[in-house]
Structure 1
Amino acid sequence: MHHSIVLSGTQIAANRCTSCCKLYHCPLCPGFKPAKLNRIQSHLKVHISNAISFEDKKICKCSLNCRTAAHFHCPVCHKTVLKRSDMEGHLNGCRGKVVQTPSPATESTSDPNVPPSTPAPLDLSTEQASFSIQQSPNTSPPPTFPKTEVSVSPVVSPQHQHTNPISSVDTASQVDNSLLLQKKKTKCPHCNLLLYKKNISKHIQRKHAKKCKDVTIEDHLKSICVDSINGISAVQKSRHGFSVPVHVQNKTWGHLHKVQCELEECRQYHSLAARSGLSFSHCEHIRSLQYCTETVKEEKLQENVLEEMVQLQFFGEAKKATCLKRQKTARAKHVPLCVPVAFQETPKQLCFSVYEPALTHYTRLGRIMVTYSTSDNTWHCPCAKARLSCIHKNISKWHLFQTNRDLFKTQTDNSSTPQQQQDTVYPPQNESLRQFVQYIYHHKKLPAILPDDLLKPKAATDFMSELHPAEKICTVCSGSIHLEKSSRITGKAKIVTMNGVIGNVSTFFRRCPQCHMVYRYQEWKDGLHNFDDHLLLSLELFVSTTQPAEQCLHVEGGQFTGKP
């Protein structure tokens, strides 16, 4: 019998260590720190209190090297079981084996004069309950017999035939239970773990499911080429949310081929794949480049713009000279100095890929990513702290000041008039507001009679989530003056219909670069009425709320009388 099984009323023996120390070790927990006798005795009492009671024994949990995890030893069949609940069920099955199996001494005894050995005690209530199952209603109750004759006699006399139904019922129930458990359980095809069939799908999903998705034409990371000479592209770092793009090189022409990603975890992955003989295995950033079809155009930065920034005190003459020197170096290498990287139409974070000739841990491919937050008006570069300037931030400011000067708010900029400064803000004001309202009144006014198809109920999926103005050419200026790119007013607008409210709708406006005329979404042909850019009404709801008011008012002589 294993030493984790003790008789009830006794304690586990604790012996003093004679090899490594003079203290006492726990005989069941190898990881328990050696301690004095009183500490070990209190620890062993915990083992006894948490043990499983089986007949006259206590089965303690064993943490020795019998198995890799803590387990229980069965005193009957010497099997090991991990969980306590499974061990209790196992003991219920083994309990019948103790009662039914005759002892070797009894089997070897052939002389009837030799008294049989005393068997293990049998629960009378269980015996009576088992016997009552086999009783027939038409027969008289059988006589009672001593327990010794029921359990141990190998040769059954005719008067003792009522003991066979008891053992046959117990054996049949055990066989049925084992077959039922086999039907309910199955093995995992990956780790051969025995589980219930209802839990196998959840086990495979949690333990063996792929953590990363395959790169396909429908699901891949967005990318754009920023340096076509060296085959360097900017790729999204992750699929969800905003993340600073990473530089990836995929140059498969010329004498020297280079395929690499600047992320440290991807480089470790490629190194492990090469040592394993899987040099063709690449990270998802490199695999997404096969769907890259766009190359960003470089904006040639002008020196006069840089001089204007010096006059506006963005930076001094020394930083100006450094920027010009870096520009000459980029031209000599035939690489773009600074290019924008935009994967969204109206991003809150503007990213710029800037050329850096010195190779460091943050510029492994000769380029560095600089980000600008339009909401916080902050710059970030990996080579400098948040509030410290660097050459990469200065070059990015130079590029942004030349391409989108409206993002810079300076007090010394007197080149534009107050009227022009007001025109950059939505909603328009003063004269621009008057033109804006007149255009909506003359060109976007709801007709007196609406088509019937616009008043029919629509599903929520029939409405667009992004509402852009239909105008693309200015209607005020002479000639074909194209409007600027759409700018978002809000991304939390709501469409109210007869069936409910549709949220998270984006509304946009466009502006004429010449006359500063502003256009917003006001298309009643889509079945919507734009109330204030934040609330839009379906025409079905709009007509149902305005018709009762029109029916209650009567016009006489050009005035409302209020009479029906």
Structure 2
Amino acid sequence: MCHICGIHEKEQHDGQEPMLCIDPKNGLHVNTKHSHGIRLPIHVQKCIPERLYDCEVDECRDFMSIAAQSGNPGKECYHLERTRKAHAYIPPAALKNESVIEMVGKGLISTCRQQQCMTVYQRANSEEVDCVFPIFWGEHSLSDRYIFFSVYTGEKDSWCKFGRTLSTFDTKTGKWHCQCIGSKNRISCIHRYLSMWWLFQEHPHLAKNAVDTSNEDIEDIEEMVSGNLGMPYQPEYTHSSVITMTNYLWNFKRIPEDLPRDLTKTEKPVPENFEPTETNCPYCPGPCPPELNNAFVLTTQSMERSAQFAET
């Protein structure tokens, strides 16, 4: 039997990314965007009575749009298909007025921010949805470094397609990040304070480590882990070479869930000599051919000469 629900067979849930229902009224769920690296959450909507089927990822929306134009309007993206195995909705702890008043008394939030938080909280209550829904991936056998919060916004934009945004708290650095970064609300982000309200109320020991930094100083996690990496060399791919390359990248080049702090914060000195870290080619058996090693040596020597010329 499944250790998650105790009902289905074990294979139905094991090995799958968690899918949580956060709003049964509007059919909103939270799922991981990718199955590797930092598990960034995304919102998906599947409301059968209202016939609303949508995903927050632009690539998924394009995929379903192309499928509809090709005569397959019912085609769903991977994230929407997984809503069939979603965990049942469990309401989180509701926000309490006493908590935000205590935050004001301790100087963690201003009176003006308190009023703004209360306004958003009351609007969420009027729509019968949770103002803040915490997401703990650590409860689903994933890394517990980041705590994510689905926060009610009451508006729809490119950064909150379903009237909700996502804020992130890094338990190691104490920094916050909100999905609204880059929007008109970048400087005045109320969603971070709503999330802080819930965290201070339910996990005060974690809120003590929070750093009150401006949005300009907060790193965009998704940009950090999924930056555009150019590939100048594009060989001809065969069916077997694609499989070999995919297995190699999956087994040896994946970004870990919990990146070491020194790897992202400490700058390493430029090495005096460039040496290959891999001596065997991942795509063919045996060591690299001599001509490739010679080319690497020539490239290294030219880079060293360029560095010496720049110094002079």
Aligned equivalent of 2:28, options 232, 240, 249: 232
The 2-side partners of 1:324 and 1:351 are apart by 21
Partner of 1:404: 203
2:117 paired with 1:323: yes
SS in 1 for 2:138: coil
Task: Within 5 Å, give how 1:519-530 maps onto structure 2.
Answer: none
Partner of 1:361: 158
> What amino acid does structure 2 have at the position aligned with 1:358?
E
Maintained 8 Å contact 1:349/1:371: yes
Maintained 8 Å contact 2:196/2:207: no
2:72 paired with 1:275: no
Task: Within 5 Å, give how 1:543-554 maps onto structure 2.
Answer: none
2:65 paired with 1:266: no
SS in 2 for 1:300: coil
Task: Within 5 Å, give how 1:192-207 maps onto structure 2.
Answer: none
RMSD: 2.1
SS in 2 for 1:282: coil
Partner of 2:47: 251
The 1-side partners of 2:109 and 2:74 are apart by 47
Compute the displacement of 1:324 (Å).
Answer: 0.4
The 1-side partners of 2:163 and 2:187 are apart by 22
Partner of 2:190: 391
Compute the displacement of 1:216 (Å).
Answer: 6.5
2:93 paired with 1:294: no
2:18 paired with 1:222: yes
Larger Rg: 1
The 2-side partners of 1:403 and 1:389 are apart by 24
Task: Within 5 Å, give how 1:82-101 maps onto structure 2.
Answer: none
Compute the displacement of 1:296 (Å).
Answer: 3.1
Q: 1:389 to 1:397 in 2, by over 3 A?
A: farther
Partner of 1:138: none
Higher normalized contact order (CA 8 Å, seq sep 6+, divided by chain length): 2
> What amino acid does structure 1 have at the position aligned with 2:21?
C
| 5+ long unaligned stretches in structure 1 | 1-214, 411-564
SS in 1 for 2:208: coil
Q: How many residues align?
A: 194
Maintained 8 Å contact 2:148/2:168: yes
SS in 2 for 1:344: helix
Q: Deviations over 1:305-355 (max 9, x none)?
A: 101111221221111001001111011101110011122236000001111
Maintained 8 Å contact 2:131/2:152: yes
The 2-side partners of 1:277 and 1:306 are apart by 52
| 5+ long unaligned stretches in structure 2 | 1-10, 210-312
- Percent identity between matched residues is 29
Compute the displacement of 1:409 (Å).
Answer: 2.7
What TM-score comes out, normalization by structure 2 length? 0.59
The 1-side partners of 2:208 and 2:152 are apart by 27
2:241 paired with 1:241: no
Maintained 8 Å contact 1:244/1:369: no
> What amino acid does structure 2 have at the position aligned with 1:347?
D
Q: Deviations over 1:246-269 (max 9, x none)?
A: 00111002xx21011011111111
Partner of 2:167: 370
The 1-side partners of 2:101 and 2:180 are apart by 25
Maintained 8 Å contact 1:350/1:372: yes
Maintained 8 Å contact 2:19/2:86: yes
The 2-side partners of 1:304 and 1:231 are apart by 31
The 1-side partners of 2:104 and 2:187 are apart by 18
What TM-score comes out, normalization by structure 1 length? 0.33
2:185 paired with 1:382: no
Partner of 1:350: 147
Partner of 2:294: none
Compute the displacement of 1:243 (Å).
Answer: 2.3
Q: 1:276 to 1:332 in 2, by over 3 A?
A: same
SS in 2 for 1:249: strand
Partner of 2:79: 285
